[in-house]
Structures are given as structure tokens and as C-alpha cells.
Structure 1
Amino acid sequence: MTSPKTARETTGKPLGEFGRIDRYFRPLASGFPGARGLADDAAVFGVPPDQELVVTTDAMVAGVHFFPDDAPGDIAAKLLRTNLSDLAAMGAAPYAYTLVTALPKTVGEDWLASFAAGLGEDQARFGIALAGGDSVSTSGPITLSVTAFGLVPKGGAVPRWGGRPGDRVYVTGSIGDAALGLRIAYGTLEVADDSARAALLGRLRRPDPRTTLGPRLVGLATGCLDVSDGLVADLGHLCEESGCAALLESGRVPLSDAARSVIGDDPVRFAMALTGGDDYELLFTAAEDAASALAALSAETGVPVTAIGRLLEGPAGEVTVADPQGRVLDLPTRGWDHF
């Protein structure tokens, strides 16, 4: 049987759908036996008897979630990592994923090769493999979707709705880098420091899903979600589901050196960091007596964990943001909403 590569070189024609799948995506499925070499209509796999399957789906559209001229490897990384972040927020370890690509016919094989290479690099980094998917053409913008599968101990998935008044509110890593990076990418924020500029753009394009910490929060966190819509908005989502309110102490919110240098004393830029979104850090709640265990877990995994507030009795979803002097901040928005 003639290989797709040989056929293309012989005929001079571009690879078709199945040639693309064979060349660029079949290698990504080689590490997952249930994918069956992408030769069948569906994948087949089981779940260990002491585990449950966690499933999440996220889509990205050019011009909405990424710039059309972004590097294909960056697009691939963000696509996969946003889904891995959802798994981490449920306490699940990565298992496998499926991929749907809807590409304009103008997207060539160089783009596809770089995109597949980006997926391959992150598969190796995060311990996950392709299980299948679909590939179609579109007359619209590039549209990509991943459905990711994770494993969590039976009954252990961390919900959004488990927070209770008196719980501390924690966040991993740092907040606001991606929001500032997005303004840099749009050209609405000038940053003279090249290293700060690169750091903020890097966090926008390649978030860092907390896949090492997330599964370790099972049994410790009472509620959890990842920060995609903005810190204040997502804390509000957690509070709505948990039936309580929250106090967010803005002075405790962790900022990177790059973000701190750009924000300075500017309250508008600080509000941007609190509400801008795309951080993909874990925002979770835990009982007061879990503080020492969380500190040890942070040290063990190398993932910074910071206490930034507390859940309170009050209207479900209400989030009060206070400065270090206890004054309530008047924010122009809580976060991102697609509609």
C-alpha cells in the first residue's frame, strides 16, 4: 500500500483528510492503546474499578480565544492546557483526549505540522495522549475543540459547590499575567521592559495547568474551579454554587514580578488583573485546619498556594473585594462573559 507521503510526492497533490490524519495525528495516538491507531470510528477504553472518569470539553475560535497569526504550537498548547486545567480543578489526573479541528482550506500543512508538534510536546509533558476525534473544513475562522478525560478516585471529584462559610479561599500561582498580556497583544498596553513583556505574553499564550497539585486536593479542598473568566467572577461562581458570600482581600492576591512592575500603583491595571481572566490557576476553598497540609503540599509540588480571603454567610455569589485597609474596591466589572 502506498504511504500518504509517497502518494503526495508522486501526484504532487496536497494530503487529503485521511493523509493528514495519518501523518500528523496518528503518531499522537500511539501512546494510548484505546485509540486503536485511529483506525476505527471510536476509541475503546476502560476505567480502573477504584476510579471514576471526569470529562470536560473546551473550544477555541480564532479571533476570540487566540489571534489568527499566533504560532500554531502556542495555539495547540493553549487548547490542550485549558482542558487539562478543568481536569485539575476536579482533582482528576490526565488520561486521554479527543480533538476536533475545523480548518479553512487556506490552512496549509506547515501550520498543521507545527500544531501537531505542539500537541506532541505537551502530551509528553503532561502525560496524556490522543484517543481520536474529527477533522473538517470550514469557511469560517479556525475552530478547535478538545474533550479531555481524567481519572479521579471514586467519590473524590472536587465540586464547585462544597465551600462553606468559614472556609479559607486559596489560589495557585499568580493572577493577572494573561489579562495584561492580552492588552499588550492588542497594542493597548505599552510595556518597555522586554523581559516583563515576554513573560506576560507567554502566560497568555501558554497557561500552566496545575495537574500536579489538582489531584492532590482530593480530600483537602471543599470547592474548586479554575480561573478562566477572572478571579472575582470565578470566586462568585464558586460562591453561587456553594450558597454563600466571600471576602476577597486584594492585598493578598499573588502577582508575578512582571505583573507587579507593570501595574505599579495604577488601580485600573490592578482591577484589570483581578477581573481579566485566562489565568487558568486553581481557585479553591478549604477548611481552616487544612492550612498546614496545604503549605506542605505546595512545598512538595512546587506550586505556590496563597490564602486570599474567606467564605462568609451572605447572599449566594456576593463577592466583596477589599484593600489592605478594609476599604471596598469598586470594580468596573467582575470578569468575562461570552454573552
Structure 2
Amino acid sequence: MKATQELHNLGQSLWLDNITRGLLTDGTLARYINELVVTGLTSNPTIFDQAIRTTAFYDDDIRKKTAAGKSTEDIFFELAIDDLTKAAELFRPDYDATGGVDGVVSLEVSPLLADDADGTIHAAEKLHAQANCPNLLIKIPGTAAGVPAIEETIFAGVPVNVTLLFSCEQYLAAAEAYLRGIERRINAGLDPHINSVASLFVSRWDHAIGDKVPAELRNRLGIAVAQRTYKAYCELYDSPRWSKLAAAGARPQRLLWASTGTKDPNAPDTLYVQALAAADTINTIPEKTLLAFADHGKVSSTLPADGGDAEKVLAAFRAAGIDDQALAAQLQLEGAESFNKSWHALMQCIVEKGQSKSTGTQAEQL
């Protein structure tokens, strides 16, 4: 049995953190679904920048849409929604079989809205309506402005993937926003079953500190933060507050592990996937990591609901001079800035491709 199937049997969903039109047209995504039990997919501006910049699959569409006078941002979202709704069709059996818990894809609002709550709410509702796809989540960053936007978007009935969470505190703020949105829907007599996930980024912690800590602490900070967050997640959904909401028909906002590809070449390539095995969670992983885990990954243990040794490990990092609270804020800011950079590069790429002349068939260009 492949390790990916073992994780699925454990109760953890494996999502692919990638999308290109090629994955859809050559049958690769369908094969990952059938052979590796991939049950969902996430995207972000960096992923789409790479997909559009490095292939010719989108060129003709970009030229046609540019000639029709569409804005660069509208062109991008039309391209992205086209890809993601096709992917969503492949995942629809999982979505139906799980009652909407699994089998979903994610589309991010413009990262330029990270500090604009009203703009984020408007964009999320617009994209949700434009996609008209029940198993598509709208990604909203868990920034200070994003938190109130999450509540309002959930209240409006739009399914949300909260992105750019780096700490337990940031996760709890996003979870609280989700709960408030659901409670408001119940009080208003609306259906409380609105799908949502909260994405905690893991490997970026260890990449950020590099060799600034003793060897015995290398590549342990991200996992400790995840353990601490998982404890809070378990406690939240074992609380009287949640029991009341569940009785009214609400579904948990599932915890998702993001940034789980190993960045340290000296560490195992399946490090974070193996360390973060846990029921009722999601792991969205890069294609390279997915294939590595399917080939030689192991499921030997699961995350402890009590947080395990997380506090002890975090204390060791603090003793080594790492301020995890300050670093969490820094990582969220840097994550938002990275997506902004990718967004600007993506918009420029679309402008350039829209102005270029066709040089042959798609096959010839590839």
C-alpha cells in the first residue's frame, strides 16, 4: 500500500499544491487522483505565475482576451477559474462522497488586498459568483484586515481557505472569525454548512532561521509550531461552543498544513509530510514532495492531540535567541510581500503575452 493511501486511511486529506493547464490536459492530475489518492488542490499567485510564464498553454487565450479589451486582472481570473473549475470537475466525486468536506480547489483573491478588508470581501463574493462552482474555495489571507473579511465572507455564504497563517495565535484568530460568521448565519436562520479550511505554513519557519540555531534544533521549529496549533485545533472542536454549532449543522473549519516541501537539502524530502500525519486535517504538498512521499514515505506516527513536546521545543528555540512571536509576524508579512511580487510579475507576463504575436502552434512552442 502506498504511503499516500495510508494517510488517506488515517483520515488526512492530501491536496496538490500546484496547477497548470498541462496537468489537466495530459491526464496527470487524474492519475494523481486515481493512483495517489489526491482529493483536492490549492493554488496561489506564484503557482499561476510559473504556469503561465513557463508554458504556452495560455498564450492564445491571453492574446484573444487582450484583443477584446479585457483588463489584465480580469484576464488572469478568467484563466484561473477556467483551470480550477476543470480541476474541480475531477474532484467532484470526492466532494459528493464526503458531503462537501473534501474534493475542493482554491482560488486566491488579489494579494494586493491583504490590508483591505472591504476590498477583500467584495472580491471574494465576486470570484465566488463568477466561478459558480460549489467545490471552489476563495483564499483570503489571515492578516489583520483579512480576519474581519473572513467573518463577513463566511456570513455571506462564501467558502473560504484562510491562507498565510504562521502561528497558533494567527490560526485562532482565523478560527474565531469563522465561528463568528457561522454563529451569525445560525442566528439569521441561514444554513451553517459553509466549507472552510485554515492553512498553517510550516517549512518557512525552518528556512527563515537556517543555521542560526544549534544542530539539534535544525528543522524542528515548524513542526513544533504545527504541534502547538494542532493542540489548539483539537481543543476548539472539543469545546461546548463548537458542540452547539455542530448540533445546528455546522462543519469544522479543517486545519491544513501548507508549505510542506522540504527546503533544506540535508533533510529528508518527506520530513514534513511524515511529521504532520493527523486525522481530520489536510496536507497540501508540492508535486515533487507528493511523488517522493508516494515512492518512499512512511506513516509511522501521528500528531498527539496534547501537543506532544511542542512547548519544550519552542522553549529551546527561545533560549537559542529565536522570538517565535516576532518571527510569526515577520513571516506573514514576508509571505504577503512574496505573493505581491508574484502578482506583479504575473500581471506583467500577461501584458507581454497579450501584446506578442503567435509564433506557431502550441505544440511547436513547447
TM range, smaller chain: under 0.3
Q: Which has the larger radius of gyration?
A: 1
Q: Normalising by structure 1, what TM-score?
A: 0.24
Q: Normalising by structure 2, what TM-score?
A: 0.23
